[in-house]
Structure formats: structure tokens, C-alpha cells
Amino acid sequence: MESKIESKYDCLHNHLFKFIIVGDSCVGKSCLLMRYASDQFTESFVTTIGVDFSVRVIELDDKIIKLQLWDCAGQERFKSIVTSYYKGAHGVILTYSITNRLSFDNIKNWYVDCKNKCNKNVNFMLVGTKLDLEKNREVSHKEGEELAKQLGANFIETSAKLDIGVDIVFTELAKLTMNTFIIPKLKAKEEEKNNINLSNSTNFSKNKKFKCC
């Protein structure tokens, strides 16, 4: 019964995007996802074992997009399991906590890992979490912006606790994915169709001329 419902639900989307969320342990990856997927937040810390998975369906440019969201554990001991989930990702959410300098310094390592193992055209969002803890800030907004520029990523600071900027992370990444992976394919298909029509009409006029003579 459950699989029937799932397969019916699967038919309802136009596109499926796979996003992974990576970064050091305790930066707030699971909380970001929990806020986005089920509008909840918890103060207690339960470290992710391996990977967790959520789904959210959104509408973008009149299309239904199913977002497959993979929450990757930040702890080093899960690294080899986690990296096996990078394959096929359309988007990467690189997370650090604005209250933790080391998590920011480690972003470059997460970036290199993903760059090596993900799709060639994968898009990156750099996300500074725990914006509500301004008094404990160790990484300035400007530093975040500069790193994002270096990595060719979009940048935003968020608070899962106060629900600030969370939706933007995912909708921006979905828009980037649409522009990188979907629109070029649709344009190529359209061009191919036009070329076929054009060559058909040329053949038709050639044939016509032949008959007349």
C-alpha cells in the first residue's frame, strides 16, 4: 500500500533534484534540514549516524520539483560512508557555524571533497548557521561573502532556531539547478525540434519543385 502511494506521488513531479548538506559536526546541518522539511527545531544535539534523508516538494517556474535532501554526518568516522552519497548530487550546501572558526576553516576541505566526487556542474551554496548567536560570532559576514566568491558559491547566513533564511537556501539552490541542469537541456531539445521541422519543410519544398517540373 505504502509503495503504491509513494509511486503515485513520484509521478507528480516534473524534476527531481538531489542536494547534499555537508560541514563539520554540530554546525547545525540536521536542524537546518528539520526546519526546512518539517518546520521544527530542537535544542538537543543528536549527532547524525552516516546519512539521513528528507524530501520536500516545491513549485518553481510552474514546475513541480521534488527535492531529495541528504543530510551527511559531519563526524570524521563517517567520512567514507558519507562520500559515497555525493554521486549524482545537483547541489551542495556547505555549512559552517558563525560561532565556530574551525568549522569555517574546514569549508575548503568539504568543498574539495565534493568537487572531486560530485557532478561536474554541481552548484554550491555556502551557509553560515546559528545567526541568532550573534554575541558568540567568530566569523564575520564579510569573511563568509569572500569565501563564497572564491568558491563560486552563493552565500547566506541562517538561523534554524528563529527560521531566518532557511527557505532561501533551498529555493536558491533549486533555481541554480534549474538554470544549470534543466534549462540548457530544454533549449537543446527545442533547437533539435526546430531543426527537424526546418529540414522537413525544406524537403517538402524541394519535392514540390520536382513535381512541378
Contacts to ligand GTP by CB under 6 A: 25-31, 42-45, 47-48, 73-75, 129-130, 132-133, 159-161
132 contact choice in ligand GTP, Mg ion, none (CB below 5 to 8 Å, kind-dependent) = ligand GTP
Nearer to ligand GTP, 30 or 177 (CB): 30
28 contact choice in Mg ion, ligand GTP, none (CB below 5 to 8 Å, kind-dependent) = ligand GTP
- What is the C-alpha separation between 127 and 121, in angstroms, rounded? 19
Question: Shortest approach of ligand GTP to residue 71 CB, angstroms?
Answer: 7
- What is the C-alpha separation between 57 and 11, in angstroms, rounded? 12
Q: Of 48, 56, 45, which is closest to residue 23 (Cα–Cα)?
A: 48
194 contact choice in ligand GTP, Mg ion, none (CB below 5 to 8 Å, kind-dependent) = none
With contact defined as beta carbons under 8 Å apart, do 49 and 73 qualify? yes
- What is the C-alpha separation between 15 and 65, in angstroms, rounded? 5
26 contact choice in Mg ion, ligand GTP, none (CB below 5 to 8 Å, kind-dependent) = ligand GTP
Give residues 6-65 in contact with Mg ion (rule: CB under 5 A): 29-30, 48
Full DSSP string of 107-154: HHHHHHHHHHHS-TT-EEEEEEE-TT-GGG--S-HHHHHHHHHHHT-E
CB within 8 A of 131, min separation 6: which ones? Answer: 98, 157, 158, 159, 162, 164, 165
Question: Shortest approach of ligand GTP to residue 37 CB, angstroms?
Answer: 12
45 contact choice in ligand GTP, Mg ion, none (CB below 5 to 8 Å, kind-dependent) = ligand GTP
Nearer to ligand GTP, 29 or 90 (CB): 29
DSSP state of 180: I
Q: Of 106, 98, 87, which is closest to residue 32 (Cα–Cα)?
A: 98
Give the amino acid at 61.
D
Question: Shortest approach of ligand GTP to residue 153 CB, angstroms?
Answer: 18
91 contact choice in ligand GTP, Mg ion, none (CB below 5 to 8 Å, kind-dependent) = none
Question: Shortest approach of ligand GTP to residue 161 CB, angstroms?
Answer: 4
Nearer to ligand GTP, 36 or 124 (CB): 36
Residues interacting with Mg ion, by CB under 5 A? 29-30, 48
